[in-house]
Amino acid sequence: MQTHRILALNSGSSSLKFALYEFSAAHELILVRGEAENIGGQGGRLWLRGTEGELVANDARPVPDSQAALLAILDLLKKGNYPAPAAIGHRIVNGGPRYRTPQKITPQLLSDLRTFVSLAPLHLPTEIEVIEEVASRAPDIPQVACFDTGFHRNLPELAQRFPLPRKFFEAGILRYGFHGLSYEYVLRELGRSAAHCRLIIAHLGNGASLAAVKDGLPVDTSMGLTPTGGIVMGTRSGDLDPGILIYLLREKGYDAAALERLVDAESGLLGVSELSSDMRILLGRRASDSRADEAIAMFCRSVRKEIGAFAALLGGLDMLVFTGGIGENAPAVRKEACHDLAHLGIQLDDARNEAMEGTISSGKGACVVRVVPTDEELMIARHAHAVVFGDGRS
């Protein structure tokens, strides 16, 4: 039986997640997964877990940049005698208006990605660096780009357009949406239960967004032109009155770089709490610090508002799914986000929610509420395997 090993690389603004899979006609097997954390910051760490989730390595070390992260990962894989991959898949945060489906990385594709950097300045530069570093060290291994925006390219045009002069839409200024690989994975996990369903998926992490899905197709999503828009996030502001930015430009001496730093790196949970962008830390401080309490309340309120708006677009709600680091692991956030939504059929069972069960609704409301752990790396690997070996998995 022929097998192929696929390495999935998921570059974030301050992390590099990876996973090595073995594919055959009979199975998808995880060989190892891990992450280089806090790239460019203090408290860098690199960890690996094996097939059964056992901890293989957990090294505290400085990780100055994405190149160093990649080299450290490749070194650990080599020392662990893991097989070399037959292909490498990359999460690409924005494929722009041109790229919709996963495809092999070529010089032309890389050139096009560089023109999209302004649409995702926190992510695309590091993703491009990782691709180039891989190519320099293993030029014969095919690399595949998997676009986080691809899932949303089927949004209705009305949802893609902003209320701006039409020329801007034609120039590619539109709602791209993000976290598409996560949404795609969740839909596959839900299977037939999502086929004829009015569904909202809440991907809640340091970056966070929601998507409205009807009968398996996207209807709307909270992020817009860039991953900065939408709900409150770890360090990102989410949606703002544009007049605030104009005011800061005119009256407070901000330039484009300062505004970008403000809305991408200094706002959200971090800006409101003045403590941390980490929801775990804020939950631990909530009872003793009003700033942490207010930051959490703003986050949950923004999620709740988006659920209500999307339920209106869908004409009702059959299922709500939480995923992502916060969505999967913070029952207090799930509970608060669902507060006062009984009119939409959302009623949680507190015991199930606290016990981290897969279904956390009480059964008394019309809407099923579930928690589905996402796996973007597996989705990347599936796409890369399908593109290179044509097995139809993606």
Positions annotated as catalytic residues are: 148
Nearest to 74 by CA among 148, 154, 130, 15: 130
**Residue corresponding to tokens 């209500």:** 308
3-state secondary structure (DSSP) of residue 206: coil
Residue from 223, 184, 187 nearest 205 by CA: 223
The secondary structure element, H or E, covering residue 209 is: strand 208-214
Q: How would you classify residue 296: left for phi > 0, otherwise alpha for psi between -120 and 50, otherwise beta?
A: alpha
Contacts of 49 (CB under 8 A, 6+ apart): 32, 33, 34, 55, 56
